[in-house]
Each structure stands twice: as C-alpha cells, then as structure tokens.
C-alpha cells in the first residue's frame, strides 16, 4: 500500500523485467514491484501465469511521489517502454500475460489514461491502432523475489 504522501500506479506492457528498469529511472518513483494482476487465480506463481490460463498480466506496481512526478509522466514512460499496438505480445514474448494494459486506481487515473491513449491514437505515430486496455485495478500479487529488480541484479538495463 502506498504511504499517505505517495500514490500507486499499475501497468502491464510485456515482460516486467525491462519495464521495472524503465520506471526505476523516473525521478519521483519511490518503489517498484513486479507481479501479476488482472486475472482470476488467487496468489498466482510465475509458472501459473506463464500458462496463459490465469488471466493475469505480468505487471508493475509503481509507488510515486506526486510532488516529484505526475501520473501523466508515468503514462509517458509506460507508452515509450513497449509497442502499445501489439495484442497479447511484446518482442518474442506471446500470450495474454504480455498484454498492454493500464490498471487505474481512481477516476482521475482512468481519465488521464484514456486521454493519453486517445492522444497517442490521434498522433498516428503507429500504423496500427493502440491495443492498450484501460481497466480498473484489481488484486496485485508481487512476483517471486528472484524476479524483483531482475535486470539490476544482473547489471543489465534492457531485456531485448
């Protein structure tokens, strides 16, 4: 849970390892946790989610200080960290667990996420429509410890 001075944002944009590294570089981000959300199985494991049958997405929960960064800035990081036109895949990873999704925590986040998605669509930066889902946040299950800060532990900054 976010502290009284921080807020929470949750995103899914493919493999969570590289996404965590991207959000960790944003000034004002206090903490990041990779995990699983958006599915129907309680307390899923990585192996469960990899089957593609739990409905969960690999996701990141971002705790941030709204006095040092904005939700809109985080949305920018989200959209620049993956190809939001891909349906259920990113790079070599395929399956619904790799979908593009913004999990909003309140009405303001829902409005900002929809506005950012619509603006990106209108820019026609991509030849295909934006596939990112904007859905209400549900239970978030942190991934196993060896997945947390995975790239950092290995001295890497990107997955692919």
Residue 134's DSSP bridge partners are 102
Of residues 13, 15, 50, 91, which has the active-site annotation?
Answer: 15
* CA distance to 83, 84, 122, 147, per residue, from 125 (Å): 11, 11, 8, 32
DSSP-derived secondary structure for the chain: ---TT-EEEEEEES-HHHHHHHHHTSTTEEEEEEEEESSSSSS--HHHHHTT-S--EEEEEEEE-TTT--HHHHHHHHHHTS-TT-SSEETTEESGGG-EEEEESSHHHHHHHHHHHHHHHHHT-SSS----EEEE---EEEPPGGGTTHHHHTT-S---
Q: Answer yes or no: 91 catalytic.
A: no
Give the active site residues: 15
């Amino acid at each position: 849970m976010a502290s009284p001075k921080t807020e929470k944002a949750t995103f899914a944009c493919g493999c969570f390892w590289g996404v965590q590294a991207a959000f960790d570089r944003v000034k004002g981000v206090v903490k990041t946790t990779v995990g699983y959300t958006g599915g129907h199985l309680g307390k899923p494991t990585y192996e469960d989610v990899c089957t593609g049958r739990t409905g969960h997405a690999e996701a990141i929960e971002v705790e941030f200080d709204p006095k040092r960064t904005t939700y809109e800035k985080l949305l920018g990081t989200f959209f620049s960290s993956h190809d939001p036109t891909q349906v259920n895949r990113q790079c070599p990873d395929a399956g619904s667990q790799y979908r593009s999704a913004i999990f909003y925590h309140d009405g303001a986040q829902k409005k900002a996420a929809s506005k950012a998605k619509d603006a990106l669509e209108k820019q026609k930066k991509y030849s295909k429509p934006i596939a990112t889902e904007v859905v209400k946040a549900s239970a978030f299950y942190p991934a196993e410890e060896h997945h947390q800060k995975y790239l950092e532990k290995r001295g890497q900054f990107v997955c692919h």
